[in-house]
Amino acid sequence: MKRISRLLQLVLITLLISCNSKHNTLTIKIENQLNFDREEVVSLDREQLKSLLKDGTAEDVRCKQKDTYIPLQWVDYNQDGVYDELLLQAKVKANSSTTYTLEINPSEPAPKTSVQAYSRFVPERIDDYTWENDKVAFRTYGPAAKTAAENNIPGGVTSSGIDLWFKSTKRSVIDDWYENNTKEEGYYHVDRGEGYDPYHVGSSRGTGGIGIYENDSLYVSENFITHKTIAEGPLRTIFELTYAPWSSYKVKETKRISLDIGSNFSKFEIELTPNTSVPNYAIGISLHDNNGSFDKDEENGMLSHWEEIDGHEVGEGILIHRKSIDTIIPHISEVKDQSNALIIAKPSEKLSYYAGFAWTKSNQIETLNDWKALMMKKKKIINHPLKVNVIH
């Protein structure tokens, strides 16, 4: 009898272990309809994961492709403590599909990314807001920078333009560059092997700033007045900036910017509320001293600029839906920082576009044709997002 009792105990223990090793799972099939391999961030709405989450919390969700676990990121857009969206970085061959498995598995450590998308407010450098990933980095300026400029304090700037930081490393540099800048003023303006900031914005649009173009003049906002980080990263960083009403139309502006790991382009989603009807909204790229080359492709919704800075070339570009475009023009001025290539967009309460760049010293591109090909590839990606199918 004792042997039978012990045998029953062993059977029960084996069954218990077996049950605990079976995780609630959900199969995700991701399809690529384009003729090149893709590695991109895709999203799943929380509602799509309802059957998975009934047996565990968001923090317990893991994702694997075959036997390899991959990093995930949850996003809480309205900051109410409940995650709204799950992100994963999918790898899919040309004209093919890849299957991933989501499971509730708290015993499996959540994998980390070796590179990341990242953003933060930077009070130690007056009040920049800066964002980056493994390809590129950007920044723009807050109210203290405007006050400093008005009082002739070094480092001050009055601008809503978008600054570019050139990177030749995949690792995050924001924190290190700013920390070193507190010890050595101008630290990040010198290339020490990982890149630097040689790009001049001033009051220009930089790459992706907006305005209203009227009577051969561009009317723009000043520095952002509030900031809110929605997601630091690591797969997608998201934040919002607001601006004081600007121009004679008293436009109220809220700008949501996001940047995915692996992308050269930030996504801009802007809500605009003027007091009266506006003639247009213009999205610009600084032409600096008008020595670069400017290209437009209205049919594909693309504006490109190619220029040399400190002996190396950089391609800058804006991508927008062609139906949003009225025209694309170069606005040339003898006044410093007032020459910009402009996409003149039809007025709307919401403006959505991508703005980004590539630097030849980063080894991402070598020629102008490489840059144009990279822009066209991104345009195809925007027009044909990876198709996500949840298989219950």
Residue 349's Cβ-count burial label (10 Å; 0-12, 13-18, 19+) is exposed
How far is residue 147's CA from residue 137's CA, in Å, rounded to a whole number?
Answer: 25
Angstrom CA distances, 316 to 71, 173, 284, 306, 307, stand at 30, 21, 10, 6, 9
Residues of the chain with CATH 2.70.98: 118-383
Specify the pLDDT at position 18: 37
Q: How many CB atoms lie within 10 A of CB 220?
A: 22
How far is residue 140's CA from residue 272's CA, in Å, rounded to a whole number?
Answer: 19
Specify the pLDDT at position 23: 60
Specify the pLDDT at position 7: 45
Name the CATH topology of 23-112.
Answer: Immunoglobulin-like (2.60.40)
Strand 61-65 and strand 68-70: the pairing is antiparallel
How far is residue 74's CA from residue 188's CA, in Å, rounded to a whole number?
Answer: 32
How far is residue 41's CA from residue 88's CA, in Å, rounded to a whole number?
Answer: 6
Amino acid identity at 350:
K
What's the token pair of residue 32? 């690529």
Specify the pLDDT at position 11: 39
Specify the pLDDT at position 368: 98
95 alpha-carbon distance from chain centroid: 25
The low-confidence residues of the chain, meaning pLDDT below 70, are 1-23
Residues of the chain with CATH 2.60.40.1180: 23-112
Architecture of the 118-383 domain? Distorted Sandwich (2.70)
Specify the pLDDT at position 1: 46
Side-chain-side CA neighbours of 266 within 13 Å: the count stands at 33
- Write the secondary structure of the chain as one string of H (helix), E (strand) and C (coil): CHHHHHHHHHHHHHHHHHHHHCCCEEEEEEEECCCCCEEEEEEEEHHHHHHHHCCCCHHHEEEEECCEEECEEEECCCCCCCCCEEEEEEEECCCEEEEEEEEECCCCCCCCCCCCCEEEEEHHHCCEEEEECCCCEEEEECHHHHHHHHCCCCCCCCCCCEEEEEECCCCCCHHHHHHHHHHCCCHHHCCCCCEECCCCCCCCCEEEEEEEEECCEEECCCCEEEEEEEECCCCEEEEEEEEEEECCCCEEEEEEEEEECCCCEEEEEEEEECCCCCCCEEEEEECCCCCCEEEEECCCCEEEEEEEECCEEEEEEEECCHHHEEEEEEECCCCCCCCEEEEEECCCCEEEEEEEEEEHHHCCCCCHHHHHHHHHHHHHHHHCCCEEEEEC
How far is residue 126's CA from residue 142's CA, in Å, rounded to a whole number?
Answer: 8
Are the beta carbons of 218 and 160 closer than 8 angstroms? no
Specify the pLDDT at position 6: 55
Amino acid identity at 297:
D
